[in-house]
Amino acid sequence: MKLWNKNSKLNRAIENFTIGNDHQLDLLLAPHDILGSMAHVIMLKETGFLTETETKALYHELKDLYYKAEKGELKIEEGVEDIHSQVEKILTDRLGDTAGKVHTARSRNDQVLLDLKLFSRQQLTFIFEKVQILFNKLIALSEEHKEVLMPGYTHLQAAMPSSFGLFFGAFAESLTDDMIILSSAYRLINQNPLGSAAGYGSSFAINRKRTTELLGFDTLVYNSIYSQMGRGKTEKVIAFALSSIASSLSKLAMDMTLFMSQNFNFISLAEEFTTGSSIMPHKKNPDVLELIRARCNRLQSLPNEISAISTNLPMGYHRDYQEVKEAYLPAFPKLLSCLNMMILVLENITLNENILEDERYKYIFSVEEINKKVQGGIPFREAYHKVAGSISNGEFHPDKNIEHKHSGSIGNLCTKEIIWKMDKIVLEFNFNTTQEALSALLNSSQS
């Protein structure tokens, strides 16, 4: 079944090539496609295009299909092109000609735009929840180990004293910036495209503001052409938000992989969280961290991939966007799995609390010695040369008792301030409003 079919037969090879992976990917969109139809049906009744009886019948069947889709029980049959066609076919089988009215005043173009926005909005709530869990874990580790010193590095050379408190806190604060970008992406997608039809509106006197309200959107995309132009742009902006989180995860995974090596020996994982070697029995490989690093690096390429497909396409719908969908939809579960694994790793790491007792790290206190001389009245450049000379002559014996008190230093992590940052950003998300609207839609009096 094809909604556009005009009783002509499509070449089989062309059909297979153009469908691609739509049957698998569209099942991810199925619950959202059905929610959109439920809202559309209610709006059509209120604007006089459906009777009360027709509306109740359509709403009842759509609600049943929604819960089947949520449970993974809805399938796209052989010969049916996509989820839109499958839903309409089922409705037709059950309700006959009444089902033919469900497509009044809309196109598959605005249907898929809506599906992608509803799907993305839901997935961003899942990402949001996991980022918060990871953030809280990093904050807890930062506070728990704020007294444990470690070397800080520049150019991969031991440079100055740092601490695990500063290290974990850095990634917690990095996530606050990622959440700012996520919040912007969420606001971008939380605009309703339904009613733009194929990109040029409709001659039917529909009420787009009503479907906006029913689906819990902040507002609607007013211009019909721009609704379609937003395809590709919207996915790219959301992909950038995902890639920003992936960047933080990848960097954390990279550092922890280094720190687990024998050359560093800063942290360790129990054997059950590592893999081994087929010929080297002593190996404890951090495969989980390496795969987080690799998968998050791939996610960082996603905005570029979407740009490469969609840049400079003329306005209107183009089948090129199918390729965007194939790259875009799997990104959410991939990032979620990486977040889950990083949380699991952080819950099970052990820290080496005596790192700086190793003689090789004594020179990281050289700046402390310079600063003490400066505080005693010696000009900085002169103090620098004095300490450099003592290092060259093998006479450098540092005092390892350090005090850093300024904001964001070893002795003043500003944990409360970082938490305040995150709490402020979290308030920008209006998940409750959206959830209340969808709950009301699923429990409408039409049932």
Lowest pLDDT segment from 105-119, 270-284, 379-393: 270-284
Equal CATH topology for 12-103 and 108-145+163-354+414-442? no
pLDDT tens column, 411-442: 899 999 999 999 999 998 889 999 999 999 99
- What's the whole-number average pLDDT of the chain? 90
pLDDT-derived band of residue 348, with 50, 70 and 90 as boundaries?
very high
Average pLDDT over residues 82-106: 90
Q: Give the contacts of 119 (CB within 8 A, at least 6 positions apart).
A: 28, 29, 32, 329
3-state secondary structure of 150: strand
104's enclosing H/E stretch is: none
Which percentage of the chain shows pLDDT scores above 70?
Answer: 94
Which residue in this structure is represented by tokens 């390429």? 301
- Under 8 Å between Cβ of 161 and 355: no
pLDDT at position 12 over 70: no
Residue-range domain boundaries for the chain: 12-103, 108-145+163-354+414-442
HEC string of 360-407?
Answer: HHHHHHHHHHHHHHHHCCCCHHHHHHHHHHHHHCCCCCCCCCCCCCCC
* Burial group, residue 141, by CB count within 10 angstroms (0-12, 13-18, 19+): buried
Q: For domain 108-145+163-354+414-442, is the CATH number 1.10.357.10?
A: no
pLDDT tens column, 198-214: 888 888 999 999 999 99
Q: May I ask the CATH architecture of the domain 12-103? A: Orthogonal Bundle (1.10)
- Under 8 Å between Cβ of 292 and 342: yes
pLDDT of 20 reads: 64
3-state secondary structure of 207: coil
Lowest pLDDT segment from 2-6, 43-47, 134-138, 426-430: 2-6
What pTM value is reported for the model?
Answer: 0.91
Rounded to whole angstroms, the Cα distance separating 421 from 166 reads 17
The DSSP string of 282-336 is T--B-HHHHHHHHHHHHHHTHHHHHHHHHTTPPSS--TTHHHHHHHHTTHHHHHH
Q: Dihedral sign, CA of 151, 152, 158, 160?
A: negative
